[in-house]
């Protein structure tokens, strides 16, 4: 986090970027990661963390030649293999950033989104540029489950869909909302993995707005004491239980907690999917290794096979587990091996992910507790998530809904 209180017309001032460890403890550990000079209305424009705990900070100086992205180890020291001694100069104004898997997603000037590899910072592709009128992108957030990229443009929420960071040319741009607030230079957007919504705070700052992939808007009114706090950005913990809101004028981070039941399911999606164009032949199911649990044969990899069944109109279950985990064993003995589940599973493509082998996939689907199950409908769209203490009745009801 950082705050720029430099007044217009004043010379650039050095500003620190802070790393706050254990923010919910009584004595958080605060460390200065770096100090850079910024003029008024310029500063550190984005922050992201990868699966290994490395930090990425983007800085917008207003000058494409000096705007930057820095990478740090989990202990806060520069990651010298990234760019030049830990700093990358892409030659563009660096605005919002996010990270998923091995890909760094970066909004740059104007209306462009670059895909970089997290190891060296090399550019691997570009998302199709936003059309005229949507080129003032300040911040972005990626949905790690379906790789949709959300962005905030002068109070309007937009989205790229249909592509992947490793195939950015397939993305399609779509505005989700009309302008919901005034244009500000410190717009920030984050993604809520539980409600599957993009979240931001518009002007006037009296509410939090959430937008789903269909463009449906949900509003939460802020308490009166926070409306004058100049809230500018939000960050959500990876398990979706804790929301951090930063106040520019008060130099305060406000914390909100959300209660989540041990067994939960996301509300059914209302998104209507648009089929992707056929490009290259996909592997057939016979080419994927399988493992049998009870009467059901499970495919051992979701790479490519989810897309295969999406194009062939079959719903999908993705089961994340870890060898030796007692909760996973309980699910397999008490549910997956039962006839009630097996009969429903005949309508599904069942995919088996062992986190002892495929650790990187946990980030994509925001796996925080095991066992974890993702249910996709015939269009490949997310219907529900179930995790931890999954009960038979709830799971079967979700499967019946998704198979319709």
332-350 residue pLDDT tens: 888 998 999 999 999 999 9
The answer to whether residue 119 is domain-embedded is yes
Predicted TM-score (pTM) of this structure:
0.67
pLDDT digit string, tens, across residues 295-317: 888 887 665 677 778 878 889 99
Q: How many CA atoms lie within 13 A of 80 on its CB side?
A: 0
The answer to whether residue 278 is domain-embedded is no
pLDDT exceeds cutoff 70 at 266: no
368 and 234 co-located in one domain = no
Q: List residues bridging with 216 in a β-sheet.
A: none
Of 238, 257, 276, which residue constitutes the final position of a domain? 257
The answer to whether residue 1 is domain-embedded is no
Looking at per-residue confidence, does 302 or 326 come out higher? 326
80 and 206 co-located in one domain = yes
Q: What is the CATH number of the domain that holds 376?
A: 3.40.30.10
The answer to whether residue 132 is domain-embedded is yes
215 and 328 co-located in one domain = no
Average pLDDT, the chain: 82
Peptide bond into 204 cis (omega under 30): yes
pLDDT digit string, tens, across residues 98-156: 998 889 999 998 889 999 999 999 999 999 999 988 988 989 999 887 889 999 998 89
**Sorting pLDDT into bands at 50, 70 and 90, what band is 271?**
very low
Q: How many CA atoms lie within 13 A of 332 on its CB side?
A: 22
Looking at per-residue confidence, does 281 or 197 come out higher? 197
pLDDT reported for residue 221: 84
The answer to whether residue 274 is domain-embedded is no
230 and 321 co-located in one domain = no
**How many domains does one find in the chain?**
2
Which residues, at least 6 apart from 22, have a Cβ–Cβ distance to it below 8 Å? 28, 29
352 and 312 co-located in one domain = yes
Q: What is the CATH number of the domain that holds 29?
A: 2.130.10.10
245 and 358 co-located in one domain = no
Of 239, 257, 275, which residue constitutes the final position of a domain? 257
Of 242, 257, 272, which residue constitutes the final position of a domain? 257
392 and 291 co-located in one domain = yes
Q: Which of 164, 387, 399 is nearest to 276 (CA)?
A: 164
Q: Which of 208, 181, 213 is nearest to 197 (CA)?
A: 213
The answer to whether residue 85 is domain-embedded is yes
Looking at per-residue confidence, does 246 or 93 come out higher? 93
182 and 246 co-located in one domain = yes
252 and 383 co-located in one domain = no
CB 305 within 8 A of CB 283: yes
248 and 381 co-located in one domain = no
82 and 189 co-located in one domain = yes
pLDDT exceeds cutoff 80 at 289: no
The answer to whether residue 4 is domain-embedded is no
Looking at per-residue confidence, does 367 or 83 come out higher? 83
303 and 157 co-located in one domain = no
The answer to whether residue 60 is domain-embedded is yes
- The domain containing residue 111 runs over which residues? 13-257
DSSP string, 65-106: TT-EEEEE-TTS-B-TTTTBTTEE--SS-EEEEEEETTEEEE
Helix (H, G, I), strand (E, B) or coil at 295: coil
pLDDT exceeds cutoff 50 at 282: no
């Amino acid at each position: 986090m950082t705050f720029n209180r430099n007044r217009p017309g004043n010379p650039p001032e050095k500003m620190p970027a802070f790393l706050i460890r254990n923010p919910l403890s009584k004595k958080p550990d605060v460390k200065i990661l770096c100090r850079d000079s910024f003029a008024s209305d310029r500063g550190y424009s984005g922050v992201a963390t990868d699966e290994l705990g490395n930090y990425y900070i983007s800085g917008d100086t207003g000058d494409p030649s000096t705007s930057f992205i820095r990478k740090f180890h989990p202990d806060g020291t520069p990651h010298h293999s990234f760019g030049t001694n830990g700093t990358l100069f892409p030659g563009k104004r660096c605005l919002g950033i996010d990270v998923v898997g091995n890909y760094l997603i970066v909004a740059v000037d104007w209306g462009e989104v670059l895909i970089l590899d997290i190891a060296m910072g090399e550019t691997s592709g570009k998302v199709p540029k936003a059309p005229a009128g949507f080129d003032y992108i300040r911040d972005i957030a990626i949905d790690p489950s379906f790789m949709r990229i959300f962005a905030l443009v002068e109070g309007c929420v937009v989205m790229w869909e249909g592509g992947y960071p490793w195939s950015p040319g397939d993305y399609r741009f779509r505005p989700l909302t009309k302008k919901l607030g005034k244009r500000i230079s410190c717009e920030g957007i984050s993604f809520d993995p539980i409600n599957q919504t993009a979240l931001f705070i518009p002007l006037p700052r009296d509410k939090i707005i959430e937008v789903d992939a269909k463009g449906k808007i949900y509003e939460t009114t802020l308490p009166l004491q926070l409306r004058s706090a100049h809230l500018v950005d939000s960050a959500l913990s990876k398990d979706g239980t804790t929301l951090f809101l930063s106040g520019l004028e008060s130099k305060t981070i406000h914390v909100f907690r959300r209660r989540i039941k041990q067994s939960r399911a996301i509300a059914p999606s209302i998104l209507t999917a648009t089929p992707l164009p056929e490009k290259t032949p996909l592997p057939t199911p016979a080419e994927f290794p399988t493992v049998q649990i009870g009467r059901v044969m499970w495919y051992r990899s979701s790479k490519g096979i989810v897309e295969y069944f999406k194009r062939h109109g079959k719903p999908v279950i993705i089961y994340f587990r870890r060898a030796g985990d007692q909760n996973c064993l309980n699910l397999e003995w008490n549910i997956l091996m039962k006839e009630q589940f097996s009969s429903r599973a005949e309508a599904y493509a069942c995919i088996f992910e062992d986190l002892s082998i495929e650790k990187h996939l946990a980030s994509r689907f925001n796996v925080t507790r095991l066992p974890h199950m993702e249910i996709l409908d015939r269009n490949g769209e997310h219907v529900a998530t179930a995790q931890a203490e999954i009960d038979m009745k709830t799971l079967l009801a979700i499967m019946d809904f998704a198979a319709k």
